[in-house]
Amino acid sequence: MAAETGNLEQFKTGILDNNPVLVQLLGMCPALAVTNSVENALVMGGAATFVVVMSNLITSLLRNLIKPHVRILIFTLTIATFVTIADLFLKAYLFKVSQAIGAFIPLIIVNCMIICRAEVVAIKNGVGKSLADAFGIGIGFTLSLLTLGIIREILGSGTFLNYQVLPKTVWDTHAWIIMILPPGAFLTLGVVVGVVNYMRERGKVGA
């Protein structure tokens, strides 16, 4: 089975065809919650990428030792360990962002995207393929968070990474506050998912 797809293919599929948020609809909670600014989206994407890479690495190394009926428990404990590391690291070096993201860093533990990668890829494949897959998925996750973050920050606060990009005079009085509030998250993700579906349909017809 392992020889069927190369590492590069496995890496690319995570970014495009199997994008965790926009196509597989996994890991939706952080995608909605922390994308009210580009900075938060980037930090969240980085943390999740670190966790998925490390958990895929460990799971892949242990794959011959794990008994099937306890595997979910092993996955969650592995993930919880690395999330604790990421959480302490962010609290030490990026305190402001870590406060803004709040409970969503520990909530990476229950991000279905990461458990899904361990279950689908890491438990069956060698270290190389698992790592390639984890990097692809991590980058795909970060990119989709970034897309949402850019749309919501520019429309909601008129800024990009805290720099003013839309005319301040207009945006001070007429900002789309709704975009940085919870409903804006659902609406933006709904529209982006619809657009991605449309582009995939068109791509299939063309090919």
Partner 1 sequence: MEFIAILLSVVLVNNLVFQGFLGICPFLGVSRKVDMAFGMGCAVTFVITMAGAITWIIMHLILHPIAGNMFGDKLALNFLQYVAFIMVIASMVQLVEMYLKKFFPPLYTSLGVFLPLITTNCAILGACLYIYMKPETQSFLNALTYAFGGGIGFMIAIVIMAGIREHLLFSDVPKPFRGAGITLLVAGILALAFTGFTGIGK
139 binds partner 1 (CB under 8 A): no
Pairing of strands 159-160, 163-164: antiparallel
28 binds partner 1 (CB under 8 A): yes
Pairwise CA distance, residues 54 & 23, whole Å: 23
Only segment of 43-51, 118-126, 163-171, 195-203 that touches partner 1 (CB under 8 A): 195-203
The residue among 61 and 181 lying less far from partner 1, judged by its C-beta, is 181
45 binds partner 1 (CB under 8 A): no
Question: Which residue of 15, 32, 53, 148 would you call a contact of partner 1, by CB under 8 A?
Answer: 32
Whether residue 72 contacts residue 112, with contact meaning beta carbons closer than 8 Å, is answered with: no
Q: Which residues contact 33 (CB under 8 A, 6 or more apart)?
A: 104, 185
Q: Per-residue x/- marks for partner 1, 53-72, CB under 8 A?
A: -------------------x
Q: SS3 string of 29-83? A: HHHHHCCCCHHHHHHHHHHHHHHHHHHHHHHHHCCCCCCHHHHHHHHHHHHHHHH
Determine phi and psi for 96, rounding to 5 degrees. -65, -50
180 binds partner 1 (CB under 8 A): no
73 binds partner 1 (CB under 8 A): yes
In whole angstroms, the minimum distance from the beta carbon of 59 to partner 1 comes to 16
Q: Which of residues 76-135 bind partner 1 (CB under 8 A)?
A: 76-77, 80-81, 83-84, 87-88, 102-103, 106-107, 109-112, 115
Residue count of the chain: 207
In whole angstroms, the minimum distance from the beta carbon of 127 to partner 1 comes to 24
SS3 state of residue 199: helix
Task: Please name the residue that has the structure tokens 């063309």.
Answer: 206
Q: Under the rule (CB under 8 A), what is the footprint of partner 1?
A: 25-26, 28-30, 32-33, 72-73, 76-77, 80-81, 83-84, 87-88, 102-103, 106-107, 109-112, 115, 178, 181-187, 189-191, 193-195, 197-198, 201
